Structure 1
Amino acid sequence: MPVGGNVSTPEVATREELVRRAAELVPILADNAVWTEQNRRLKDETVEAMADAGIFRLRVPTRYGGHEADFRTLVEVAAQLARGDGSPAWVASVSWITSWMIGLFPDEVQDEVFSTGQGRTCGTLSPSAIANPTDGGIVVNGKWGFISGALHSDWQVVIAVLVPAEGEPYPVMAPVPLSDLRVVDDWHASGLKGSGSVSTVAQDVFIPTERVLPLPAVLQEQYASKANAGSPVWRAPLLPVASASSVGTVLGLARAARENFLKRLPNRKITYTSYESQREAPLTHLQVAEATMVIDRIEFHAHRLASQVDTKGGDGTPWKLEERARARADLGAVVELGKASIDLLASASGGTSIYTDIPIQRIVRDVHAINQHALMHPNTNAELYGRVLCGLEPNTLYI
């Protein structure tokens, strides 16, 4: 039993069960999607439905009532959620990454975070704050942007640059209760509008020593948890974990674009032509076939990435540098191909598709936003992979 916890541990759900639960959420997410965009946050009904389905606990250890789901499950669950709306899928993915990060900390820290609440976490890898040492811990001041899901989370994983009394500064990682931070409602964006990716601010926030890990050690797989050390889920590097946790949303958006395109197809004419139905046009046949083949390629890269992290976690074999770089390259490929397939279907959707109640226009904005994400940017990831393939050292710690 976790320290101070009274969490009952339910039976761990199978992949099929978790994917089924996510699929059952699609009508709710779709019905709330317009409200979600207009209000720049997830609707409470959406959050509660996701929590009831166990979505936020997929990467919580089983001893706290979580599922410790593998990466293939994360891909398929996120893909289902994104069929309804990309923003909830994105928030879920961020929660999975940060819950996994908390699983790296000493077990007593995990007791503090996971023994209460729904396991709703958020965070970032950007070290945009400063930490100074003090008795028993550190004091943090700074601001973090793009904190998806902060409006519904209990804890945030923060990254700050620690300035020690002696030696060089270095980044550290720590979970902080959202109640210790100030939320800045500055999320006015063109895509993923409903993700509520606001900024958070720390002003003289004290974090005890046991809740602080050096980020360079984490990136070298020097983890502090004893209870999770034997779990395949936590036998993986941070960046491949983050990459494999993220691709499902893009896959789901691409599937949603095709699904919605085909749903509207029979009743659409091609204006100023003799085609009474768009599905009769050879051009449409080519467009649908090409988009579908691109989606097949998205599935290949997403599944290859997930399978690699699952397999290496299962057998415990060390990660080669090239494998780490390819994980980010697979992520970039998914993002680039997602945009290509969705743009193709959007260009074939006609003038009525610009209305805000037509899902394709929201899907386009969401996938374009994802393509701008620093960790997911296709060119950045491809360059890193090529650099390693050419025998050079990576020019980033984030690999």
Structure 2
Amino acid sequence: MTTEVPTRSELVHRASELTPLIQQHAAWAEENRRISDVVIDAIAAAGMFRLRTPARYGGYEADTRTLVEVAAQLGRADGSTSWAASVYWIPTWMACQFPDEVQDEVFSTPDVRICGTLSPTAMATPVDGGVVVNGKWGFISGAPHAHWQEIVAIQVGPHSEPMPVIALVPMSDLTVIDDWHTSGLKGTGSVSTVAHEVFIPQERIMPLPAILQGQGASTVNAQSPIYNAPLLPVASASSVGAVLGLGFAARDAFLQWLPDRKISYTTYESQSEAPLTHLQVSEASMKIDAAEFHAHRLASVVDAKCAQRSEWSIEERAKARADMGAVCKLVKDAVEILSSASGGSSIYSHVPMQRIWRDVQAINLHALMHPDTNSELYGRVLCGKEPNTLYI
């Protein structure tokens, strides 16, 4: 099955048309700690879950620049919604590295949603025909609405060295632990999941290093440029749009409130008259512009190298993570400026700025997005040292 593929501008327009609905349900998502079913259905109807799905299953095989721009539009409406959508794109891409018969099973569900993790917090014991997995994974964004989870476990056999493996598991085989009580990204439903004596057939298991290196087992997808790259640059480019959208959202929110705001206990009848405000808006906007540069550069490099099917150097991989970290830091700095300039009234729960601030803080704490970690890794490689991580 194939379908007509919308252009990037059409997909971005569809995302922007969802803004009123997403904003209407953003407070509900915060309170209930997951995206509203209404919003999930609307995003599915708009084709947002098909961006990384192969064309033969009705997907769009969108490039990463499209992911950045679509996620930025969604993030402009709500950070949690954009984050959840972005996270689905990454395990969906990873599923496309599996054998074609496995993909036939996974993508038989229309608008399939796959959540996942890269943390090997489970054990896999070899048995006839596959493995039995026991363990628990945290921070599984989008799990409440997912059909499958991509898991990582350490496989230990009697005659082999421990090896990290990645596998695809139906959500019905896992237990969901409702433990997502947080200060930021509250609406993402990033709960924990548990496997207890779960059997996984061998065809749905791959070595984690193969996925990290982009050495897929799919015959058909080997012909498609977007599925031929290492995981981390692809994941980095898939993630930054949501962060960039939060920067846009903060600026939108600040400027929307600005005409009616005074600066209390001063003679300024309008905050927009104050030179300090001019400096704050300018500085924040320049940081958002710089974040957009890094996001677009990252996506452009990923898309170009995929199209050329060229090898990635270690330095290029580290730089991809550094670009991602730069987006996170620059947007966080911009939101800090605009939040600080928004005054005491911005702490009310109905004011978007406080939620934007909390969401940006949460993203900057993510282990793979942390600006300092990514910057150190890039500098380490530039100084001629070996990376001190597999996730590059």
State the TM-score bracket (shorter-chain normalisation).
over 0.9
The answer for the alignment partner of 1:4 in structure 2 is none
The answer for the alignment partner of 1:367 in structure 2 is 360
The answer for the alignment partner of 1:199 in structure 2 is 192
Matched residue type, 2:212: L
The answer for the alignment partner of 1:120 in structure 2 is 113
> Residue 291 of structure 2 is aligned with which of 288, 298, 306?
298
Matched residue type, 2:252: E
Q: Secondary structure at the match of 2:2?
A: coil
> 2: CA distance between counterparts of 1:259 and 1:226?
46
The question of whether the paired residues in 1 share the 8 Å contact of 2:43 and 2:49 is answered with: yes
The question of whether the paired residues in 2 share the 8 Å contact of 1:150 and 1:196 is answered with: yes
Matched residue type, 1:289: S
> 1: CA distance between counterparts of 2:360 and 2:306?
29
Give unmatched runs, 5+ long, in structure 1: 1-7
The answer for the alignment partner of 2:89 in structure 1 is 96
Say if 2:292 is the partner of 1:289.
no
The question of whether the paired residues in 1 share the 8 Å contact of 2:34 and 2:187 is answered with: yes
Q: Secondary structure at the match of 1:139?
A: strand
Q: Give the superposition deviation at 1:10.
A: 1.9
The answer for the alignment partner of 1:377 in structure 2 is 370
The question of whether the paired residues in 2 share the 8 Å contact of 1:51 and 1:118 is answered with: yes
> 2: CA distance between counterparts of 1:209 and 1:139?
10
Say if 2:319 is the partner of 1:326.
yes
> Residue 27 of structure 1 is aligned with which of 20, 25, 33?
20
Say if 2:183 is the partner of 1:190.
yes
Q: Give the superposition deviation at 1:313.
A: 0.1
Say if 2:33 is the partner of 1:44.
no
After superposition, residues 143-292 of structure 1 pair within 5 angstroms as: 143-292=136-285
Q: Give the superposition deviation at 1:216.
A: 1.6
The answer for the alignment partner of 2:61 in structure 1 is 68
- TM-score, normalised relative to structure 2: 0.99
- TM-score, normalised relative to structure 1: 0.97
The question of whether the paired residues in 2 share the 8 Å contact of 1:117 and 1:154 is answered with: no
The answer for the alignment partner of 2:123 in structure 1 is 130
The question of whether the paired residues in 2 share the 8 Å contact of 1:333 and 1:378 is answered with: yes
The question of whether the paired residues in 2 share the 8 Å contact of 1:102 and 1:175 is answered with: yes
Q: Secondary structure at the match of 2:139?
A: strand
Q: Give the superposition deviation at 1:165.
A: 1.8
How much identity, in percent, do the aligned residues show? 67
Matched residue type, 2:177: V
> 1: CA distance between counterparts of 2:375 and 2:160?
34
The answer for the alignment partner of 1:3 in structure 2 is none
Instruction: Report how many aligned residue pairs link the two structures.
Output: 392
Give unmatched runs, 5+ long, in structure 2: none
The answer for the alignment partner of 2:7 in structure 1 is 14
Q: Secondary structure at the match of 1:67?
A: coil
The question of whether the paired residues in 1 share the 8 Å contact of 2:339 and 2:354 is answered with: yes
Matched residue type, 2:294: H
